[in-house]
């Protein structure tokens, strides 16, 4: 799972150059233990990924995270967090397809022997980050906002 997350993020470009990409894991998750063990890894030349766990209501999430990885948040908590993130260039990744349908950018489908992902192109376009087209072509399906 961490390979997929790191792979996607290695092809993301933020409007302002960042050398440390802070990925914040928010909410309980069955799949982030492996990701949290990574702690710090190079995702592109001169760019490191740093991973931490944050509570859903932590004030620093919208201001210090370039990536928010969503565990199994309920819809109310997810919508509240999404409003707090606002128009900032923050990549959102989740483990529930419903999060992609409701404003998330990437939704992972973690199976015992494989990982696929969907991309919400509308959210990605509004999010202010750029993703290499090859990553978008790898997406299994294109989720759409209702």
pLDDT digits 0-9 by tens, 14-40: 998 888 999 999 988 877 777 777 767
Structure confidence at residue 18 (pLDDT): 86
Range name among 27-31, 66-70, 104-108 with the lowest pLDDT average: 27-31
| pLDDT interval class at 112 (50, 70, 90) | confident
Residue in 27, 36, 5 with CA at minimum distance from that of residue 71: 27
Q: How many residues does the chain have?
A: 146
CA distance 44 to 132: 13
| Ramachandran category for residue 86: left, alpha or beta (phi over 0 → left; psi -120 to 50 → alpha) | left
CATH of 2-143, one of 3.40.50.2300, 3.40.190.10, 3.40.1390.20, 3.40.980.10: 3.40.50.2300
The pTM for the full model equals 0.87
| pLDDT interval class at 86 (50, 70, 90) | confident
Structure confidence at residue 68 (pLDDT): 94
Whether the per-residue pLDDT at 136 is higher than 50: the answer is: yes
| pLDDT interval class at 90 (50, 70, 90) | very high
């Amino acid at each position: 799972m961490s390979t997929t997350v790191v792979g996607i993020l290695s092809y993301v470009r933020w409007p302002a150059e960042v050398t440390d990409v802070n990925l914040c894991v928010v909410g309980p998750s069955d799949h982030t233990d492996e990701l949290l063990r990574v702690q710090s890894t190079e995702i592109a030349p001169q760019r490191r990924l740093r991973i931490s766990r944050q509570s859903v209501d932590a004030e620093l999430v919208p201001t210090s995270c370039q990536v928010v990885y969503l565990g199994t948040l309920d819809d109310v908590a997810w919508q509240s967090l999404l409003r707090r993130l606002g128009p900032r260039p923050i990549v959102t990744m989740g483990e529930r397809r419903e999060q992609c349908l409701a404003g998330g950018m990437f939704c992972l489908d973690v199976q015992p022997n494989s990982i696929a992902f969907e991309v919400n192109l509308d959210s990605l376009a509004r999010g202010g980050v750029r993703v290499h087209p090859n990553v978008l072509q790898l997406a299994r399906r294109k989720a759409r906002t209702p």
